[in-house]
Amino acid sequence: MTNVDRQYGYLHGNDDYDQIDQGVNPVDVLQRAKASYPEFNPYAAPWLMLQYQGNQGACQGHALAHAFQVALVQEHGIQARFSRACAYYLSQKEDGINGDRGSTLAGGQKVAAKGICLEDEWPYPSRYNNRQPASAKGNMNFKMPGSKRITDADLAWDLLESGCCIQTGVAWNTSYEKEVCHTLKSTYGGGHSTLLYGLDEKTNNAIHHNSWRNWQGDGRNQWTKNFFAQIAKRDRFAVFVCYDAAMLEAPANMAERLIG
């Protein structure tokens, strides 16, 4: 793995926890998911077009764009890619960050509430370029509320079982790089944001989706529930939130934009 493929980008320790905790209650997200997706099978291979961040610190933006992918499938049965550039650069704008230095989950939640666009409307550049293209104007109108912080592993697994995805923000270290992550080391590295979505049928472990290229083959590995619980208790930088797919707002012209 090269340094380009292993680009950090979550500004751990800089997140606005007060802002995040103004979000929706994850228990309410869970109840809406159970009511909206009663046939969801968490053990089926989850549909997610995993995309890679390349040489930018855009992991949080990628995780957020991936969460919108999940929500669109859940609510409308439609597979589409959302703009990682929009998610990342507008999160930075909300955070007041200049340059390719990463972003926070609080900034991402503000962007999700205001709206993002499709990938083709604001393509992800090979190099950092936060200039908004004309094609994105008026199209950043897919919206979704984020939750308060999730600190309980049982609640996290209930959410995953019900079709919700969980965005992570952690201080990364080699504990996260095993095929099955079960024990957390006490060392801290750069911040990284990823997505938990789906469960492994044999182990009931969470499927962990990472935007680093060629990491564990396809960017996926597994987290045990115990690993999640350890992080929530021992990692002072850890933040976990979910997004309320049942409250996804899609624009009236969604169909023609997806075809176009």
Q: List the beta strands (DSSP E) in the chain.
A: 166-171, 180-181, 191-199, 206-209, 220-223, 239-242
Closest CA to 91 of 123, 143, 130: 130
Q: Tokens standing for 121?
A: 């409307």
The answer to whether residues 46 and 210 touch, using CB atoms and an 8 Å cutoff, is no
- 17-259: what fold? Cathepsin B; Chain A (3.90.70)
* pTM (2 d.p.): 0.95
Low-confidence ranges of the chain (pLDDT < 70): 1-7, 45-46, 213-218, 260
pLDDT score recorded for residue 7: 54
The answer to whether residues 119 and 128 touch, using CB atoms and an 8 Å cutoff, is no
The answer to whether residues 54 and 97 touch, using CB atoms and an 8 Å cutoff, is no
The predicted-structure confidence for 37-52, as pLDDT tens digits, reads as follows 999 999 986 678 889 9
- The CA distance from 146 to 192, in Å, is 18
pLDDT score recorded for residue 1: 33
pLDDT score recorded for residue 260: 65
Number of residues assigned to the chain:
260
Boundaries of every domain in the chain? 17-259
Label residue 17 exposed, middle or buried (CB < 10 Å: 0-12, 13-18, 19+). Answer: exposed
Strands lying side by side in the sheet with 239-242: 180-181, 220-223, 206-209, 191-199, 166-171, 239-242
pLDDT score recorded for residue 3: 40
pLDDT score recorded for residue 4: 37
